[in-house]
Amino acid sequence: MKKTSTRLADGRELLYYDSRDDTVRDAPDLRPLDPVATTAQIRHDPLLGDAVAVASHRQARIYHPPADECPLCPSRDGRRSEIPAADYDVAVFENRFPSLVGDAGRCEVVCFTSDHDASFADLTEDRAALVLEAWTDRTAELAELPQVKQVFCFENRGAEIGVTLGHPHGQIYGYPFVTPRTELMLRSARAHLAKTGRNLFDDVLAHERSEGTRVVLEGGHWVAFVPYAAHWPYEVHLYPKQRVRDLRALGDEARTEFPQIYLELLRRFDRIFGPDEPPTPYISAWHQAPFGELGDLGEAGLGGFALHLELFTIRRTAGKLKFLAGSESGMNVFINDVPPETAATRLREVASK
C-alpha cells in the first residue's frame, strides 16, 4: 500500500491509498474554495449524561446531486470534485461539512472506489483489503490527536438510511469523548468480569459458536452471527476469533481473511428479500475500544473490549422498513419483528453457491 497526503484548495487534508507503490498523486485542486467555516459544538445533556453535536452548517451540505455532479467521483472532463485525480483506488478526506471539528473531534469521508455505480459488495478482495488498511491507518493517526478519545469507522448505504450521496463511501468520526454505546458495553463487561472472572465478549462469542443456531458464517479467523437480542430485523455481528481492542491490533491472518468474509456477508444482505428487490439499505459499524487515559486501564478497567463489526438493515421485509417509533425513540426499547433465529436461517439460505 502507498499513502499520499495532500491538501484541497480550502486547506482540508486529502489522502490517497493506492495498491501500487509507483502511483504518483500530484493533481492539484483547482477549485476556488473558501476556507471551511463551521458552527459545530458539543452540548451535554444533564439528564441523560450524553452529548449532542450541534452543527447547523450541515443544512447546506450537498443533497442528492445527479450522478454527473457527484463530488466523490474523480475530476474528469473539466468537472472538478473533492478528488482532484482522474482516477483513484481509495481516497480519504476531511469532511467539508463536519459534525465534529477542531477541539471537538474530526470527521472524514472514505471513498471506497472511483466507480460511482458500484457498491462495497462489488469490490474485489484486494480493494476491500485496501479499505481495511485505510481504516486501520486512519484509526492509528486519529488516535494520536489529543482531542480524540474514540474512532468510529462506518458506512451508511441507501437512501432509506439517509444517505445524501449515492457514490460508495463511508465515514470516520474521531469523537472527543467515549460514546454512550461503548460506555454501556464497557459497563456490562466490567460487571461480568467482576461476577465471573471472565471476559464478556469471549463468553458471548463462545456461547454463539457452541449453540450454533444464530451463526451465519465462520472462517478460520472470523465468526459472524445474529445476536440473541438483535435490535434490528437483520443484524449480524462479526468478530475476529482472536480478541483485539481495535483495528491496529488485528493480526495478519485475520486481515487476509476479512475481505472474503465481509464481502460474502454484504452480498448475502442484498439477497435477503429476493432477486427482484432493490439493494438492501444497511449500516456497517466498527466498534473499537476507546484510547487515551481510559484505554490504558487494562483488562480490569477497560473490560477487555473486543473489536467487532455490526452490520444491520432497517428493512424488515420486502417493501417495508423498520421505523424507530415511540418505544424505540422515546424509551430506547427496541421491538424486533424478525426473530434472530429466523434471520440467521435466512442469511445462511442466501449464501453464495
d(CA 128, CA 261): 11
At 286, is the pLDDT very low, low, confident or very high (cuts 50, 70, 90)?
very high
DSSP lists the bridge partners of residue 174 as 106, 151
Sign of CA dihedral 66, 67, 70, 75: negative
Mean pLDDT for 60-79 is 93
| CA proximity to 239, closest of 138, 307, 325, 340 | 307
Task: For Cα atoms 225, 163, 170, give the angle at the middle one, nearest 5 degrees.
Answer: 60
DSSP 15-43: EEEESSTT----------PPPP----EEE
d(CA 290, CA 149): 6
pLDDT at res. 36: 87
Which one of the listed residues 57, 167, 169, 221 is annotated catalytic? 169
Asked whether residue 76 carries a pLDDT value surpassing 90, the answer given is yes
Find out whether 127 and 113 touch, Cβ atoms under 8 Å. yes
Asked whether residue 270 carries a pLDDT value surpassing 50, the answer given is yes
pLDDT at res. 133: 98
pLDDT at res. 298: 52
The amino acid at 106: R
Residue 169 annotated in active site: yes
Predicted structure pTM score: 0.96
Task: For Cα atoms 133, 344, 121, give the angle at the middle one, nearest 5 degrees.
Answer: 35
pLDDT at res. 220: 98
**Which tens digits make up the pLDDT trace of 188-218?**
999 999 999 999 999 999 999 999 999 999 9
Asked whether residue 302 carries a pLDDT value surpassing 70, the answer given is no
pLDDT at res. 37: 84
Helix (H, G, I), strand (E, B) or coil at 160: helix
Asked whether residue 303 carries a pLDDT value surpassing 60, the answer given is no
**Which tens digits make up the pLDDT trace of 150-183?**
999 999 999 999 999 999 999 999 999 999 999 9
Q: Return the C-alpha cell found at 278.
A: 432493490
